[in-house]
Amino acid sequence: MTQDIQPEPVIATVGDAGQRTDRFMADTIGTLSRSRIKALMEAGHLLRDGVVLRDPADPVRAGMRYELRVPAAAPATPQGQDIALDVLFEDRDLIVLDKPAGLVVHPAPGNEDGTLVNALLGHCGDSLTGIGGERRPGIVHRLDKDTSGVMVAAKTELAHHALSAAFASRDIERAYQAVCWGVLAPTTGSFDGAIGRDRRERKRMAVISNGGGKHALTHYRTLDTFHGSLSHVECKLATGRTHQIRVHFAHAGHALVGDPTYLRRIPAAARGLPADARATALDFPRQALHAARLGFVHPRTGAHLLFDTPPPRDFQDLLAAIG
């Protein structure tokens, strides 16, 4: 696979102004499709007057210099890398690990390496290649990049098939811990709301009330509250939609602390916190979400396996600071 030829920078004219940037660049370059340019922009590869521009729909501005930097082609299949893993259990069929926050699960535009898949290939060797697919070998479920916690990956086709089926049928025990803004009422309950793509912002998910979303059900119970402004909660998923916990809590007015996607303004509840606690909560650099428990039946032995992990240090420091 060869690298795309690097396009020359272009200065927008008055006649170019106002049109979508991705369309403008596609028409100007002529060798890359608009969808390709859109993906490159969203991955941060377009500069406008030296500043990264990620919004493909942003209107072109006359006199501005637009420079698209096309990255080198990625390998067709991920490569193994020496990345440390916190392994909780491993046998010939599967591996269970405690994923740290900040680790992407599988390669994608903008994260072509340094992922959990690269780490698994480095740890398990060539035997993992192709298990369940070339780009996502071994992966049967995901956690968001900045969500920490327990994950299982398959090392054989037997395990991949059985675990994928178990996740699809929800025959898996999963529990999460989170810190959210406000105090939930009732303190124990459920959020039942279909989830689909946000029609205004495609990178976000949203509760869809007029059809089109997929059924989503989240059970929660409050473990502790702080100053009437924050809650430490446990969540259990009856379904497994993208960003499910984050979307349900944000829709209910209780966005997770630190959530960069669904927390868009300073919550009113922040006013009830002491100054130090407020600063810690508002500055928390990721969504305060941890996959604390994972239980499933071993696909070969039939034994029930259950794994619990405490939240990582940053999550525990947050709880200490707001307590």
For the annotated catalytic residues, the residue numbers are 144
- CB 205 within 8 Å of CB 144: no
Backbone angles phi, psi at 251, to 5 degrees: -65, -30
Triad 103, 105, 106: Cα angle to 5°: 125
- CB 244 within 8 Å of CB 195: yes
What are the start-end ranges of the H helices in the chain?
Answer: 21-29, 34-42, 116-124, 157-168, 244-251, 275-283, 313-322
- CB 245 within 8 Å of CB 237: yes
Tokens of 155: 């090392």
Answer whether the bond into residue 186 is a cis peptide, omega within 30°.
yes
Cα–Cα distance, 91 to 320 (Å, whole number): 37
Triad 298, 300, 301: Cα angle to 5°: 70
Cα–Cα distance, 168 to 137 (Å, whole number): 18
β-pairing, 289-297 vs 148-154, is parallel
